[in-house]
Amino acid sequence: RDCFFLTGTDEHGAKVALSAKEAGKDPQKFTDEVAQEFKTAWKNLGIEYSDFIRTTETRHKERVKKFLENLKEKGILYEGEYKGLYCTGCENFITEKELVDNKCQNHKKEPEQVIEKNWFFKLSNYTKQIKELIESDKILIRPEFAKKEALGLLEQGLDDFSISREKVSWGVKLPWDENQSVYVWVDALLNYITAREYPNLKGKWPADLQLIGKDILKFHAIYWPAMLLAAELDPPKELFVHGYFTIDGQKMSKSLGNVIDPNDLVKDYGTDGARYLILSQFPFGQDGDIKADMFKEQYNSDLANGIGNLLSRASNLIEKNFDGEFEKKELSSVKRDFNVLMLEYKLYEALKSVISGFSELDKKIDQSKLWNLVKTDKEKAGKILSEIASEILVLAGELELFLPETAEKIIKQFTQKNIKKQEPMFPRK
């Protein structure tokens, strides 16, 4: 199936404007630089995308206005007064019961009291339908804890939400009220369809999958489907919610000096080495801790001494004893449930199963003592080596989803006419 992979940057709102001011830069220049940093990181990590949408782009802003004008014409938006607590860090209104010592739990700062005229979305018109969609898995939310949390929010009852702000200049202006800017989360959510050329969405929507952080579940599981239903559009088919990570037990923070820059990882360990170290830390979808001080040890253990050592031994045995050739075996079954794990987004477990597979093949060389067996029973050694080489190719096909450059090199090495021992794919650090 064709895949359209969308990513991008959410660039409006008071938080971005404040960050630009602190950096002594114009908001547009500031966001231009940040967007480029993301693009550079994705390129260095070998991540390809179909489109990179920036919410400051004209194509996005014009389509946001068109979408909201449509809702206004339908009578789904109304003007009212909002009084509440606003956290600039969260870019969200929060309630007193969400505070700890009068401070936001996430940003440890007191929210500001806001009283202003806004335009509101009639969320109450859609909560019952959204609840039914989530309960029936027509909007499939995974992992299960996220589904329960979304349903819990609906059970508590949610007020109509503001779709505009009065005193935020850095944002998309409401087409019918230039004194109001589109609330940053409404603006940001709409990128999923503005990038697909809303309103011309035939064959391009709904999304099969949206990947989100657990802190923005309410917006994606409730507000976003409501906005789409109001516009007579289908909600996404599935939301997968991932957790947070800490660095050596502490929250990642510039002030603590423990920020991990993916570009630095690529410099130190190469593209695939960096990808492996990021993906192999803990199960996808959960909170977890990254042991940065263990990166070198893990790289050497799993990649240099693991995959790299196996490839070197196997190719050397084939080159020296079988003229660089082996009989490719049709493997009737693969013991690991790789496809099942991938379909369930158990990326950590799937990757570990591949690494474990390479490790088992390395053990097979040791257990059969192939370096001696080729001298005493070359035919038997050839059969065992053919099985190992064939399984290496199967594993390389699975590894391609995680470490594409490495997989390509393995497949090229073990499908060429005369297999030769190559330079180490993962030099020891």
Position 164 in a domain: yes
- 335 in the same domain as 190: no
- 95 in the same domain as 199: yes
* Burial bucket for residue 192 (CB in 10 Å: 0-12, 13-18, 19+): buried
Task: Find the angle CA(25)-CA(28)-CA(33) to the nearest 5 degrees.
Answer: 75
Q: What is the CA radius of gyration of the chain?
A: 26
Position 49 in a domain: yes
Domain of residue 290, CATH code = 1.10.730.10
- 261 in the same domain as 200: no
Residue 186 belongs to domain spanning: 6-242
- 205 in the same domain as 308: no
- 181 in the same domain as 155: yes
Position 320 in a domain: yes
Give me the number of domains the chain comprises.
2
Position 427 in a domain: no
Position 423 in a domain: no
List per-residue pLDDT tens for the chain, 429 residues long.
Answer: 789 999 999 999 988 999 999 999 999 999 999 999 999 999 999 999 999 999 999 999 999 999 999 999 999 999 998 877 877 767 677 777 777 888 877 767 788 887 889 999 999 999 999 999 999 999 999 999 999 999 999 999 999 999 999 888 999 999 999 999 999 999 999 999 999 999 999 999 999 999 999 999 999 999 999 999 999 999 999 999 998 888 877 777 665 677 788 999 999 999 999 999 999 988 888 888 888 889 999 999 999 999 999 999 999 999 999 988 888 877 654 556 898 999 999 999 999 999 999 999 999 999 999 999 999 999 999 999 999 999 999 999 999 999 999 999 999 999 998 998 888 999 999
- 96 in the same domain as 176: yes
- 270 in the same domain as 201: no
Q: Is the C-alpha dihedral spanning 346, 349, 352, 356 positive or negative?
A: negative
- 173 in the same domain as 311: no
209 Cβ neighbours under 8 A, 6+ residues apart:
236, 237, 238, 239, 240
**How many Cα atoms within 13 Å fall on the side-chain side of residue 364?**
19
Position 424 in a domain: no
250 Cβ neighbours under 8 A, 6+ residues apart:
256, 258
Give the end of a domain, one of 190, 223, 242: 242
- 20 in the same domain as 112: yes
HEC readout, 97-137: HHEECCEECCCCCCCEEEEEEEEEECHHHCHHHHHHHHHCC
